[in-house]
Amino acid sequence: MALQSWSLSQLSSLLPLPEDELKQILSYTDTLPDAEVTKHLGDLLGNEDPHAQVFIKSYIERRAAMNAGTSKQASASQAGQYAPPPGPPPSHSRAAEPTASSDSKQGPRVATSNDTKSDFKADAKEQQRNGSTSDHPPAYAPPSMPPPADVATSSMAAVNHHTNAVIEAAKVRARDEQEMQQLLQNLQYSYGIYSTDIEPEHDTDYPCSCAIHRYQARKWSRYPVQEMWSKAVMYPGEKAYNDNKNGSQLFSRNPYMFRVVSPYGYGQLAWTQQRPRAAYHAQSIHQTIALNNALNHEAQVTIDAKEPGHSIWNDNALDSAMAGMAVNDNKRAPEKASDTKRRDEEGSSEKPQTLALPGADKQKTSRLSSFRKSIGIKSSDERAVAKVEKSVDKGKALRDDILAEEQGRWQDGQWRYIVAVYQDKVGMTRKIADLRARHPIQYLHLLRAGYFEPIPVAWANQASNPLKFSIEAATGWRGLTPAWRGYEDTAEERLYWVLNHREGTVGTRMKPDFISEMDMARSRMATAVDPPPLYFSANDTCHLQHTSEGYSKQVMPTPFRPFDRPETPADDTMILLDVSGSMDFDPLRPVYDQYMITGYAKSTQPKNKDVAKAIIRRFTDAMANHDHAFRGYDLTTFANQASYIGTINHQNLDQMWRNVRVGGGTRVMTGWQKVKERHFEKHRESATHHPVYGWQAGPETPMLRLLLLLDGEATDMDEFELDLLGLSWAHVTIFLIGVDGCPHHHRHANELARIGDVNHHVSFVDAQGNTPERFVTHELLKRHLGYDVSMREFEEMEELPAYAE
């Protein structure tokens, strides 16, 4: 207890976390040997902090002294007694009960996050149960496959310290990735550049103290980080490059430097401010798209050709590859099959020439063979054998690397079971097995990047994680798949890789390029029509605020098609609300010149936060009349961080709304993680907790039905969609609020429609401008409840619920 009291007070001064989380850290640290304590606390507190080093050293010394005293006491106790190994930290839920079957198959296993500090922040706290579970398992239950026998005995609380080159490079890159992205956005805003793909350019080449040159200096200082990242993610035979214009451009390996025009064009006066031009910007986009496609195709063909020509998993196949090879200086052509057949039919006892007498063989040996051997020149047969032997050795090394990486990432049955469930739910089990068998180089590459396992929960609250890294083909910041060019970030790249490797995928699902996205957005915007007049309501926000006359034209949602079973009383309804700064802005829509944004124009419509509040009120009133849950529904908000507001209903909504704070960015994963924690706090009896991947639903875990309100694209929307692909216990209905006549809104709507096509647990409704709130609420209820709510039933649900005191 003395050690814990001292270490708790010391650690609290170094690590500003709640006391219960600090106790969890110390409880886990106490289970580690001294060498791992140094590494664990060093990663947690920073290896360069002198105060942290003093604390680590003092902790190890004090613990050693305490253990020495304990050992003396133990030696005096009854013989034969011993203490069991320390258990997991108290914050982790118990594992599943052991089963009678044994784990005879070695399936996939799970990866781990290397940011230990964030791991502990993401752990769920022990709280009082406030919910119950259903008596019968719902139809959407997780796979019926039983967990392996060693799930219960696996070290669920152990933190995996496995690492590799990709993980280490990601740690280094994550330190300032978010800062650099924010610096660029601020720079673009200050110079009046609104298209995110255009960087400001200076009017002179010589350095000065202006904001542009300071930003460029920061970029140049990151070239070592870029080189480290490139080495970690490049495939065999590839070469790294960057956008350094101060280097030797003549020998630059950057394929974009001379083949893509600058958005600024040519011929601008040196003493005037450089301004991008719409025509050159459009030309630059066209050239970039064409070059991306060509390089992606070339890279994929190249790496496919480098894959082993034999199975690295079959030793017999390796032997058979050597069976037909023989070292011989005889240059005659191989004996034809027809000659062999004729000799057999004639009954000839003559032996093949390759086995002739030494004298005869000597006569047919090349006169230069001895000379070639003396100077080390190999014959063609010897070169062929050497080539096969080299290929065999590379195959064995590749196999060893894969097995070592799998064992390091997925250390026991619990981890392997979670990965197996994830791959099954996402629909990639057979695809990944085929990749492992036939394309082991690419399999190992993506294995090291964590492509075959769930997303660690710790990443949700990290400002920069391996799914938030920018991909910039023109500047050399690479992705992880062979065809990485054209994606905005690593999350989008992984999302489309998963979509293209799911069971039943026909053809390749390509990410639309920017021009295609804009064209489709404008086409969708042109289909807007007046909303049905029977949904008119004088109490709609746009009528109360008198922003403009009448409703805006709306794009009609696709007809409702049920997928999940209809809502039941056991289901858990929650609301997740975007409270980023744009929710409180005066709505603006971008003004385009071709594909370049030149400014913004004001739209006459209510603020998005007012529309969101009105929709939440209508939705919760209708739901209370439907399921008689008059106590209300949990409301969580998110921006850069998430906050649980409380349980809202018709009576307390205005009061609870005062606790809603608007401002910040749009990171939906922070809110989604908070919602999941809240859901499993209610239903923890039917679930288990994993130290890296968080709560895992069981067969009796009630379904979570979530209403998510957004006013634009979240910075981690692709990460959110990736997480939803691997879940069967959650159904998410998204309401997307948009500005009237805004292509950005329709680009995001098209993306959500594509996601809904492949993941039927996700559906969405959007509205723009002056919103017909009754129409939106009716469409949301259909998708949230899972059946086609008739107009008559909807009108009955709209009546004010009879709340009891």
pLDDT at 77: 38
Edge-to-edge strands, sheet with 572-578: 642-648, 633-638, 572-578, 704-710, 730-738, 762-768
| Helix (H) or strand (E) segment spanning residue 232 | helix 223-233
d(CA 441, CA 235) in angstroms, rounded, equals: 8
Of 201-205, 350-354, 593-597, the one with minimum mean pLDDT is 350-354
Three-state secondary-structure class, residue 494: helix
Please, which pLDDT band fits residue 5 given cuts at 50, 70 and 90?
Answer: confident
- Name the 3-class secondary structure at 682: helix
What confidence tier does 562 reach under pLDDT thresholds 50, 70, 90?
Answer: confident
Residue whose structure tokens are 């289901």? 571
Query: What is the pLDDT, as a whole number, of residue 377?
Result: 61
- Of the two residues 158 and 612, the one the predictor is more confident about is 612
Q: What are phi and psi of 270, to 5 degrees?
A: -65, -25
pLDDT > 90? residue 657:
yes
Q: Quick one: pLDDT at residue 20? A: 64
Query: Which pLDDT does position 274 carry in this prediction?
Result: 80
Kindly indicate the confidence band of residue 76, based on its pLDDT and cuts at 50, 70 and 90.
very low
Statement: residue 315 has pLDDT above 50: yes
**Helix/strand/coil for 692:** coil
Position 351: which residue type? K
CA distances from 600 to 195, 277, 464, 587, 588 (A): 12, 17, 29, 10, 6
- φ/ψ of 237, rounded to 5, equals 90, -15
CA distance 610 to 583: 8
The predicted pLDDT at position 1 comes to: 55
In this structure, which amino acid lies at residue 738?
A: G
Using alpha carbons, select from 682, 573, 669 the residue that is nearest to residue 122. Answer: 669
User: Of the ranges 28-42, 191-205, 428-442, which one carries the lowest mean pLDDT score?
Assistant: 28-42
- Burial label for 741, CB within 10 Å (0-12, 13-18, 19+), is middle
| 3-state SS assignment for residue 723 | helix
Crossing angle between the packed helical segments 429-438 and 413-426, to the nearest 10 degrees: 110
SS3 585: coil
| Least-confidence region, from 29-33, 429-433, 634-638, 795-799 | 29-33
Q: What is the mean pLDDT of the chain?
A: 80
Q: What angle do CA 467, 470, 471 make, to 5 degrees?
A: 110
Backbone angles phi, psi at 734, to 5 degrees: -105, 130
Tell me the pLDDT band of 69, cut-offs 50, 70 and 90: low
Confidence of residue 141 (pLDDT cuts 50, 70, 90): very low
Q: Are 573 and 629 in contact (CB under 8 A)?
A: yes
| pLDDT given at position 198 | 93
Q: What is the pLDDT of residue 394?
A: 85
Identify the band that residue 59 occupies on the pLDDT scale cut at 50, 70 and 90.
confident
Q: Is the pLDDT of residue 440 over 70?
A: yes
Average pLDDT for 374-400: 72
pLDDT of residue 484: 96
801 or 424, which is more confident?
424
Cβ pair 685, 115 in contact under 8 A: no
Other CB atoms within a 10 A radius of the CB of residue 341 amount to 10
Looking at residue 80, its pLDDT comes to 34
The pLDDT score that the predictor gives to residue 225 is: 96
From the list 196, 748, 718, 756, the residue with the least C-alpha distance to 493 is: 718
Parallel, antiparallel, or unpaired: how do β-strands 704-710 and 730-738 relate? parallel
pLDDT digits (tens, 9 = 90+) for 362-373: 445 555 556 555
Q: Which whole number is the average pLDDT over 48-67?
A: 80
136 or 468, higher pLDDT:
468
Label the pairing between strands 762-768 and 596-602: unpaired
- Give DSSP secondary structure letters for 404-441: HHHHHH--SHHHHHHHHHHHHHHT-HHHHHHHHHH-HH
Give the chain's largest Cα–Cα span: 113
Computed over its alpha carbons, how large is the radius of gyration of the chain? 32
Mean pLDDT of 327-352: 45
**pLDDT confidence band for 106 (50 / 70 / 90):** very low
Q: Is residue 713 pLDDT above 60, yes or no?
A: yes
Q: How many other C-beta atoms can be found within 10 angstroms of the C-beta atom of residue 95?
A: 20
Q: For the residues 580-599, what does the mean pLDDT come to?
A: 94
Q: Which of 462, 680, 461 is nearest to 574 (CA)?
A: 680
Reduced to 3 states (helix: H, G, I; strand: E, B; else coil), residue 738 is strand
pLDDT at 301 over 70: yes
pLDDT at 508: 63
- Digit-coded pLDDT (tens) for 735-775: 999 999 999 999 999 999 888 888 888 999 999 999 999 99
More confident residue, 404 or 310: 404
CA distance 789 to 560: 10
Return d(Cα 99, Cα 156) in angstroms, integer.
17
From 548, 538, 572, select the one nearest 772 (Cα to Cα).
538
More confident residue, 44 or 310: 310
- The predicted pLDDT at position 128 comes to 34
Weakest mean pLDDT among 175-179, 261-265, 330-334, 737-741: 330-334
Q: What are phi and psi of 599, to 5 degrees?
A: 170, -170
Asked if the model's pLDDT at residue 266 lies above 90, the reply is no
Percentage of residues in the chain having pLDDT higher than 70: 74
Question: pTM to 2 decimals?
Answer: 0.74
**DSSP letters for 609-647:** HHHHHHHHHHHHHHHHHHH--TT-EEEEEESSSEEEEEE
Q: 564: pLDDT confidence band, cut at 50, 70 and 90?
A: confident
Please, are residues 42 and 56 in contact by the beta-carbon 8 Å criterion? Answer: yes
CB atoms within 10 A of CB 113: 24
pLDDT in tens, 453-483: 999 999 988 889 999 999 999 999 999 999 9
Between 492 and 128, residue with greater pLDDT: 492
> Contact 616/648 with Cβ under 8 angstroms?
yes
**pLDDT given at position 378:** 61
pLDDT at residue 357, as a whole number:
36
pLDDT at 390: 75
Which pairing describes strands 596-602 and 642-648: parallel, antiparallel, or unpaired?
unpaired
